[in-house]
Amino acid sequence: MAKDVIIALDFNTKEEVFKFLDLFKDKKPFVKIGMELFYAEGPEIVKEIKKRGHKIFLDLKLHDIPTTVMKAMKVLSNLDVDMTNVHAGGTVAMMEAAIKGLTREDGTRPLLIAVTQLTSTDQRALEEDLLIEKPIDEVVMRYAQNAKTAGLDGVVCSPLEAGKVHATCGDNFLTVTPGVRFADGDKGDQKRVMTPLEARKIGSDYIVVGRPITQAQDPVAAYNRCIEEFLG
C-alpha cells in the first residue's frame, strides 16, 4: 500500500501557496487543500497545483442529503484530485451516494475517506449536544465500519486510533492521520500527538502534517525529516 506524508497547505492565498511549493523545486509532495484555501481561491487553485504535478487530498468534508453529495462529488471528480472526504455522520446512504458521484465513466475514482468524529468533539459534547450516549471510541469505530460498509477506502483519525481502526476494519482500510509532531517540536493546539516514527509503527497509512513543515525555518528539511521517519 502506498504510504505517504501529506502537507496541509493551510494558507489562504495562492501567492503564499506557490511561494511555499516553489521551495521544493522539482520535488512534488502530496498536499492537502482544505476549506480555507478552496473557498478563498476556488477550483482554479486545485487545477493549478495539479498541473504542477502534485497529488492532492481535497479536504472539504461533505455532509448533506445523498443526492446533493452525489452531485457535488461528480463535480469534484472532474477536478482530478487523488483523495477527498465526507462526514461519516451523513449515514451509509450518503456515503454510498458520494462513491457513486465520485466514480468516473471509466470506473476510476479518487480515494474517498470519512471523518468519523471530529477530534474537537469530546465525550461531553457527544452526550450533551448530540445525545449520543456511547463511549466516543465506540462511536468512532462504528462510523469507521459504516464507511467500510458504504465502500469507502478509509477514515481520517487520530494516529492513536489508527491501530484500532485497522483491527476493526482490516489492514487495507486506510488511516489518514493528522496530529503529527516531531519529538522536539511545538505541539501548537494539537493535544494528542504522535511523531512520524510512532505513526509509522502504529500503522498509519498517510500522515497529514501542517505547521511542523509550513512554519519550519527550513520547510524542505522538515518535510525530508518527516519522510525519513515515516517511510524509513
Would you tell me which residues interact with ligand C5P (CB under 6 A)?
8, 10, 34, 118-119, 156, 178-179, 188, 190, 208-212
Residue facing ligand C5P at closest CB distance: 210
Of 75, 72, 11, whose CA–CA distance to 37 is shortest?
Answer: 11
* Residue linked to cell 502506498: 2
3-state helix, strand, coil in the chain (%, to 5): 45, 15, 35
Active site residue 25: no
| Between 108 and 124, CB nearer to ligand C5P | 124
Nearer to ligand C5P, 118 or 183 (CB): 118
Beta carbon of residue 37, minimum distance to ligand C5P (angstroms, whole number): 10
Catalytically annotated residue among 3, 50, 61, 100: 61
In whole angstroms, the minimum distance from the beta carbon of 106 to ligand C5P comes to 31
Residues written for the chain: 232
C-alpha cell at 211: 505547521
Question: Where does 78-122 show beta strands of DSSP type E?
Answer: 83-87, 111-115
**Nearest distance from C-beta of residue 202 to ligand C5P, angstroms:** 16
CB of 76 to ligand C5P, least distance (A): 18
Q: Return the SS3 of 75.
A: helix
Query: Contact 70/100 with Cβ under 8 angstroms?
Result: yes
- Cβ nearer to ligand C5P, comparing 8 with 83: 8
**Which residue numbers are catalytic?**
61
